[in-house]
Amino acid sequence: MLKKISLLIVVSALFCFQGFTQSSDMMLFGDTSRRGVPFSKDPHVVRFNGNYLMYFSIPPFEDNTDPINGWAIGIAKSTNLIDWEKVGEILPAGDYEKKGLCAPGALVIDGRVHLFYQTYGNWRDDAICHAVSNDGINFERNPTNPIFRPTGDWNCGRAIDAEVIRFKDRYLLYFATRDSSMNIQMQGVAAAPLTTNFNREDWTQLTDEPILAPKYPWEGRCVEGASITQRGDSLFMFYAGAYNNAPQQVGVAKSADGVRWERLSNKPFLPNGDPGEWNSCESGHPHIFEDEDGRTYLFFQGNDDFGKTWKISKKEVIWTEKGPELDD
């Protein structure tokens, strides 16, 4: 029997910054329930039961006497991808999550939401976990959690920032890890068969080296937060380059097999904003979302105060023969 996730339902506007609109299609969202200021990171959006659900990371309460001390996952609902209402939280539960959980990635399969997320606060021992839901809000954990951490001397054994997609005859799990010195963040990939229930024993690591590591100056010492979409026979990876507020910015790479990747440019696809803009310190941790009508949107996090607050926004992505372009 899968173990029930502890869940705190939050519906009042007193607990949630609902977002605000700067133009007719501008989205800015931040959850104020933990620290009294907007603070939401690591967005991931799915279309489910006629609504949009966004999963995102929320920090510990500022008052450390609160019994819930770790990072957690917030859930918000929207009908238009602009205005969001917070509808729930997924809280740490069990020994392996007692320090926190965050960085959600969701996949809808046969009318159920599968959530892939990471433990937080365990440094080298953080790993990927899995849970499933019939309503997108109340989840049951996989009894084999954590379901994945990498092996090999090229990495430190840590896995964060899960992204799972179906591609051809298998599921691919993308994760970020670090080198053995815990200095360089890079991307790896594992696979499971289509018959999987996403248990730990189903995953096979596909390489003994990173599939994408920092290369260009703007990427600094970090490539993380991969989000993947398929266009025709190709996969496109939207990834975060550089650590938070360095500034972190978004790049794009392309692959025919999901393992070997080639960057589309030596410059960021989505840079941080200009001085005075809401994302002047960062445009990071991307999520590429394809709607039912085929339009795609790039969700990302940003701030203008070096991480004192965090908001989530989106931009539409237009596809050409050359690849993706931002619709400004």
Task: Give the integer Cα–Cα distance in Å for 299 and 63.
Answer: 30
Q: How far apart are CA 275 and CA 7, in angstroms?
A: 39
65 pLDDT exceeds 90? no
Q: Which helix (H) or strand (E) holds 112?
A: strand 112-119
Instruction: Give the number of C-alpha atoms closer than 13 A to the C-alpha of residue 107, restricted to the C-beta side.
Output: 20
Mean pLDDT to the nearest integer, 102-116: 98
Judge whether 249 and 270 are in contact, CB under 8 Å: yes
Q: Would you state the pLDDT for residue 30?
A: 98
Q: Which CATH class is domain 99-326?
A: mainly beta
Cα 33–chain centre separation:
20
Q: How far apart are the two ends of the chain, measured CA to CA in Å?
A: 48
Question: What is the pLDDT at residue 85?
Answer: 98
Q: Give domain limits for the chain.
A: 99-326
**From CA 20, how far away is CA 191, in angstroms rounded?**
39
Tell me the pLDDT of the chain averaged across its residues: 92
**172 backbone dihedrals φ, ψ, rounded to 5°:** -110, 135
Q: Can you give the pLDDT at residue 22?
A: 39
pLDDT reported for residue 68: 65
Radius of gyration for the alpha carbons in the chain, expressed in angstroms and rounded: 18
For 195-216, the pLDDT digits (tens) are: 999 999 999 999 999 999 999 9
Per-residue model confidence as pLDDT tens digits over 78-108: 999 999 999 999 999 889 999 999 999 999 9
**Residue 304 tokens, joined:** 């203008």
Any idea how long the chain is? 328
- Token pair recorded at residue 231: 């266009």
- 234-252 mean pLDDT: 98
pLDDT of 283 over the 70 cut: yes
Residue 239, phi then psi, degrees to nearest 5: -130, 160
User: Residue 305: its pLDDT value, please?
Assistant: 98
Residues 6 or more apart whose CB falls under 8 angstroms from that of 157 comprise 124, 125, 149, 150, 151, 177
Amino acid 273: pLDDT:
97
Q: What is the pLDDT of residue 94?
A: 85
CB atoms within 10 A of CB 186: 21
CB 297 within 8 Å of CB 289 = yes
**Of residues 302 and 19, which shows the higher confidence score?**
302
pLDDT at 307: 97
Instruction: State the pLDDT at residue 62.
Output: 82
67 — pLDDT class (breaks 50, 70, 90): low
